[in-house]
């Protein structure tokens, strides 16, 4: 026996399906072949690695459309070399889709960064936030100069993005593509929730020049 329980959120789900229909109609009005073309395949120019935060949707804030950006999002846009999910996305984006740009995008006011800077025990999430605590430890000397919590947190958001870009540069996936075709270009951007602006942190990389020698791989065989 199944009994219908009252779901207060059911109307939200219905609204989403309705909005989808409206969106489809809108796309078709602009280009009758819109979905036909997208169904044939994708060739996004960029890979976006961003925070899962609902306020930082890659396509919306960059004014891009379906097919433009390959997207990977997780809590606090963490890039670590043993994350099978991120690495699979990276390898596919670089080796198959041959993206020209990879953008690591964090944002001020990031809940993941905030939580990592506390001593709160959050269970499973502790394990994910450990990577951010490691960024803190790596930059402890610089961070010691920050006397107020707000600016420390903002700097940590930036450092986590910078370490993310550096983390990508240390992968053989990215280094091999650089050796082979001189791209993708790596970018570190920060999004400001308060004004909607994306700012470039100036850590753009397209070769191994800015990473320590020990992380460089040889591909001449
Ligand atoms: Co966040």
Q: 14 alpha carbon to ligand 1 midpoint, in Å?
A: 28
Residues 23 and 77 in one domain: no
Q: Give the per-residue pLDDT at 8.
A: 66
Is residue 183 included in any domain, yes or no? yes
Is residue 68 included in any domain, yes or no? yes
53 catalytic residue (yes or no): yes
82 catalytic residue (yes or no): no
Torsion sign across C-alpha atoms 140, 141, 144, 146: negative
145: buried, middle or exposed (CB in 10 Å: 19+, 13-18, 0-12)?
exposed
Host domain of residue 1: 1-41
Is residue 220 included in any domain, yes or no? no
CA dist 40 and 126 (Å) reads: 42
Q: Which candidate in 19, 31, 33, 55 is catalytic?
A: 55
Q: 108 alpha carbon to ligand 1 midpoint, in Å?
A: 8
Calculate helix-pair angle for 149-169, 172-181, nearest 10 degrees.
60
Q: Give the per-residue pLDDT at 56.
A: 98
Q: 129 alpha carbon to ligand 1 midpoint, in Å?
A: 12
Is residue 104 included in any domain, yes or no? yes
Q: Which candidate in 53, 154, 166, 187 is catalytic?
A: 53
> What is the pTM (predicted TM-score) of this model?
0.93
Residues 24 and 54 in one domain: no
Residues 193 and 106 in one domain: yes
Comparing CA positions, the residue from 71, 69, 90 lying closest to residue 80 is 90
Q: Which candidate in 107, 154, 166, 187 is catalytic?
A: 107
Q: What is the pLDDT of residues 9-32, one digit of tens each?
A: 679 999 999 999 999 999 999 999
Q: Give the per-residue pLDDT at 106.
A: 98
55 catalytic residue (yes or no): yes
Residues 2 and 64 in one domain: no
Residues 33 and 135 in one domain: no
Q: 107 alpha carbon to ligand 1 midpoint, in Å?
A: 6
105 catalytic residue (yes or no): no
CA dist 143 and 139 (Å) reads: 6
Residues 27 and 48 in one domain: no
Q: How many domains, in total, are found in the chain?
A: 2
110 catalytic residue (yes or no): yes
- Those residues of the chain that have pLDDT short of 50 are 1
Is residue 33 included in any domain, yes or no? yes
Q: In CATH, what number is assigned to the domain containing residue 187?
A: 3.40.1050.10
Q: Give the per-residue pLDDT at 10.
A: 73
Residues 13 and 102 in one domain: no
Is residue 184 included in any domain, yes or no? yes
Q: 137 alpha carbon to ligand 1 midpoint, in Å?
A: 20
CA dist 159 and 163 (Å) reads: 6
CA dist 73 and 106 (Å) reads: 10
């Amino acid at each position: 026996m199944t009994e219908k329980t009252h779901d207060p959120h059911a109307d939200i789900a219905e609204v989403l399906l309705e909005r989808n229909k409206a969106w489809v109609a809108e796309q078709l009005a602009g280009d009758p072949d819109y979905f036909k073309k997208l169904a044939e395949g994708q060739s996004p120019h960029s890979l976006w690695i961003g925070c899962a935060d609902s306020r930082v949707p890659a396509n919306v804030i960059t004014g891009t459309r379906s097919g433009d950006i390959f997207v990977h999002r997780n809590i606090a846009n963490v890039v670590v070399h043993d994350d099978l999910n991120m690495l699979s996305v990276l390898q596919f984006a670089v080796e198959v889709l041959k993206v020209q740009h990879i953008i690591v995008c964090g944002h001020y006011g990031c809940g993941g960064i905030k939580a990592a800077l506390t001593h709160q025990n959050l269970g499973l999430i502790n394990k994910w936030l450990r990577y951010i605590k490691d960024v803190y430890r790596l930059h402890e000397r610089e961070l010691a100069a920050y006397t107020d919590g707000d600016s420390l947190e903002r700097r940590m958001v930036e450092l986590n993005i910078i370490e993310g870009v550096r983390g990508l540069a240390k992968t053989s996936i990215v280094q091999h593509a650089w050796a082979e075709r001189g791209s993708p270009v790596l970018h570190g951007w920060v999004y400001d929730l308060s004004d909607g602006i994306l700012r470039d942190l100036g850590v753009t990389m397209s070769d191994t020049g800015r990473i320590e020698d020990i992380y460089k791989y040889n591909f001449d065989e």
